[in-house]
Amino acid sequence: MSRSDFSSIAWVESPLQLLGAAEWGHAHGRKVPIAGRLTAQMSATADELIARGAPFGECAPYLGIPWQLLATHRHWLVGDGFSGQFRLAASVLRPRSITFLDDGANAVAYADALIGYAPYARPGVTERGLTTRIAPIARERVLARARRGGVDMFTAFELGASRVERLDDIGVRSNRHSFAFTRATARPLQLQTSRVVLGSARVVDGRMPQATYLRWVAAEASVAAFTYLPHRREPEAQIAAVAALPGVRLHRAGVPVEMLLAGTQQPLDVVSLASSALTTLSLVLAPSGSRIQERRMRGESVEVVA
């Protein structure tokens, strides 16, 4: 029996994961019901994807683990393989097959965890309690399914030939996509400027002082005016401080930048601190001739990454 014969459910908790489910359904010609966690931008993203004809079945919002939905579907499309909730659900329910969607650049880290190149733990996070204890069980459940041909990764990220080979050795298939559905259904977009700066959650995540972040944004604005797209987790106070800077044109999208910028009518000059969006947008904007640049903060200075 092929995986296409299994009833599927997409268990997602971020807009990018939800977009991945739409891309998977489009690529496989299948309608996928959604169990979507109630986080920032999820409702707006789901509504917009449905309006664009995303191949979604029933969409059920949830908090915690959607036990009943998972128990009644044998094929799970999972947005976050490192999640403690996924580890618990996979250990208890034992799905017949699993497709791992993108959770930002963690797609690469998760592949390394399955291969054994790295611990089965979210990079940069100290884990404790039940999450840590069930990690080996969850990993073995996934690997057992892989040995039976029941695990694959559906990703926009380049895993590298050696990593793909090692995944294949343990039975995990990897399939890349280039946001075909997102590009085909994009809505026309005309921004105030062709220069775009992507907002970041580094401040709210404790990875950068707000004063340093604002100095960086101000420095970008001193070069040329730009359209600022806030990160979905940026606090309102930070967004207001950015919008008050000379040369900044605030644009609230309410959906992932991949969905918004796919509809551009002109080449864009996109600037961002380190982010998985740099990879995803390189695929989405490839036909437009846009330029995408990464900035890295080195103390008070900025480094441009080609």
DSSP string, 219-275: HHHHHS-EEEE--TT--HHHHHHHHTSTTEEE---SS-HHHHHTTBSS--EEEEES-
- Domains identified in the chain and CATH numbers: 8-183 (no CATH), 186-295 (3.40.50)
Tens digits of residue pLDDT in 180-237: 999 999 999 999 999 999 999 999 989 899 999 999 999 999 999 999 999 999 999 9
The Cα–Cα gap between 99 and 82 comes to 13
Q: Are strands 75-78 and 8-12 parallel, antiparallel or unpaired?
A: parallel
Q: How confident is the model over 250-274, as a mean pLDDT?
A: 94
Tens digits of residue pLDDT in 111-126: 999 999 999 988 877 7
pLDDT at 103: 85
Asked if pLDDT for residue 304 goes beyond 60, the answer is no
Residue 270's contacts (CB-CB under 8 Å, 6 or more residues apart) are 196, 197, 198, 261, 281, 285, 290, 291, 292, 293
Asked if pLDDT for residue 300 goes beyond 60, the answer is no
Q: What DSSP string runs through 79-106? A: S-TT-HHHHHHHHHH--SEEEEPPBTBH
The Cα–Cα gap between 112 and 159 comes to 9
Tens digits of residue pLDDT in 119-145: 998 887 776 777 778 889 999 999 999
As a whole number, the mean pLDDT across the chain is 92
Question: Comparing C-alpha atoms, which of 146, 102, 93, 137 is closest to residue 10?
Answer: 102
Tens digits of residue pLDDT in 149-192: 999 999 999 999 999 999 999 999 999 999 999 999 999 999 99
Q: How confident is the model over 7-24, as a mean pLDDT?
A: 96
pLDDT at 1: 37
